[in-house]
Amino acid sequence: MNLLPDPLARSAEQETHMKAMVIIPTYNECNNIEPLVAKILALGDNFHITIVDDNSRDGTGEIANSLAQTYSRVDVIHRPNKLGLGTAYVAGFIHALQKEAEYVFEMDADFSHDPKSLPDFLALMDSYDVVIGSRYAKGVAVVNWSLRRLFVSLAANLYARWITGLNLCDCTSGFKCFKREVLRNIDLTKIYANGYAFQVEMNFRAQRLGYRLGELPIIFFDRHDGQSKMSMKIAREAFWHLFKLRINSLLRPMNFAPRAPAPYHQRAA
């Protein structure tokens, strides 16, 4: 394994104040995780990483261990089985809060999300409480998708906006940043969506609590190595989870009026 340059190596003297924690769920990402970690750590000392590995069969967990042993800004959570995207992020959120991270990111392990965009999210956190990396804020910004997959994604976003009332161009994006207080005030033990509906549920709960949601236009690159985790089963689960989420919200309304998200023209350009 090619390790990062010595200036980033683990040492007591290099422990710095935690600012941003990037949560990266992994399952069989052995060819992606090391170069991704390198690119994130190179952004500066404010960026820390938590890898949540679901007992990968290809050695991803062992690579993550080596990175964590070498670099003080990398932590690893090992889980016994493939337990789902939502629970992986919740485990990472809890760890980030324990580590007193000020900002907590969600990010894919497969380079679909460009690490160079991470500082752009932080630049908007004075204006918003949650910033979503949006594939649809300026038209369609996806690379190497089939028409079928694009149609499914656009239809899922249309359904998510209709069922939840979210005022977002991209409700299902998995590239986002939360302020610490948002995750502290969302009851993470009550999150029940465990597939891609998890992204919508987190946005929905944040908006209902009155937090400001904004969008940062990004370009989404289809994974360059490994296999996609999307399936029709996951899509069906997402459909029903969002329906149940809406019904539950009607049965248990909030006791206060949430702040409306900023109109799109006031969001990130």
Tens digits of residue pLDDT in 133-171: 999 999 888 898 889 888 888 888 888 888 888 999 999
More confident position, 41 or 192: 41
Is the pLDDT reported for residue 81 higher than 50?
yes
For residue 195, the model assigns a pLDDT of 72
Say how far apart CA 97 and CA 71 lie, in whole Å: 20
For residue 236, the model assigns a pLDDT of 63
More confident position, 231 or 59: 59
- What confidence tens digit (pLDDT) does each residue in 90-144 have? 999 999 999 999 999 999 999 999 999 999 999 999 999 999 999 999 988 889 8
pLDDT interval class at 256 (50, 70, 90): very low
* Domain annotation for the chain: domains and CATH numbers: 15-255 (3.90.550.10)
pLDDT interval class at 245 (50, 70, 90): low
% the chain with pLDDT above 70: 76
% the chain with pLDDT above 90: 61
**CA nearest neighbour of 100 among 44, 51, 43, 50:** 50
For residue 82, the model assigns a pLDDT of 92
pLDDT interval class at 11 (50, 70, 90): very low
Environment class of 198 (CB within 10 Å of its CB; exposed 0-12, middle 13-18, buried 19+): buried
Q: Return the ∠ at Cα 109 (arms to 99 and 158), rounded to 5°.
A: 100
Q: Return the ∠ at Cα 238 (arms to 117 and 77), rounded to 5°.
A: 55
For residue 211, the model assigns a pLDDT of 97
Least confident of 20-29, 36-45, 164-173: 164-173
For residue 264, the model assigns a pLDDT of 35
Is the pLDDT reported for residue 263 higher than 90?
no
Is the pLDDT reported for residue 262 higher than 50?
no
Is the pLDDT reported for residue 265 higher than 80?
no
Q: In sequence order, what are the residues at sequence separation of 6 or more whose Cβ sits closer than 8 angstroms to the Cβ of residue 185? A: 209
Q: In sequence order, what are the residues at sequence separation of 6 or more whose Cβ sits closer than 8 angstroms to the Cβ of residue 33? A: 24, 26, 51, 60, 63, 64, 67, 109
DSSP-derived 3-state class of residue 9: coil
More confident position, 237 or 259: 237
Instruction: Label the pairing between strands 176-179 and 47-53.
Output: unpaired
Q: Average pLDDT of the chain?
A: 83
**CA nearest neighbour of 210 among 260, 246, 165, 247:** 260
For residue 174, the model assigns a pLDDT of 95
pTM for the model: 0.82
Say how far apart CA 85 and CA 255 lie, in whole Å: 30
Is the pLDDT reported for residue 20 higher than 80?
yes
Say how far apart CA 236 and CA 110 lie, in whole Å: 23
For residue 196, the model assigns a pLDDT of 74
Q: Report which DSSP code applies to 111.
A: S
For residue 237, the model assigns a pLDDT of 65
Mean pLDDT, to the nearest integer, of 63-85?
96
For residues 36 and 49, the answer to whether their CB atoms sit within 8 Å is: no
What is the strand order of the sheet 213-217 is part of?
74-78, 47-53, 20-26, 103-106, 176-179, 130-134, 213-217
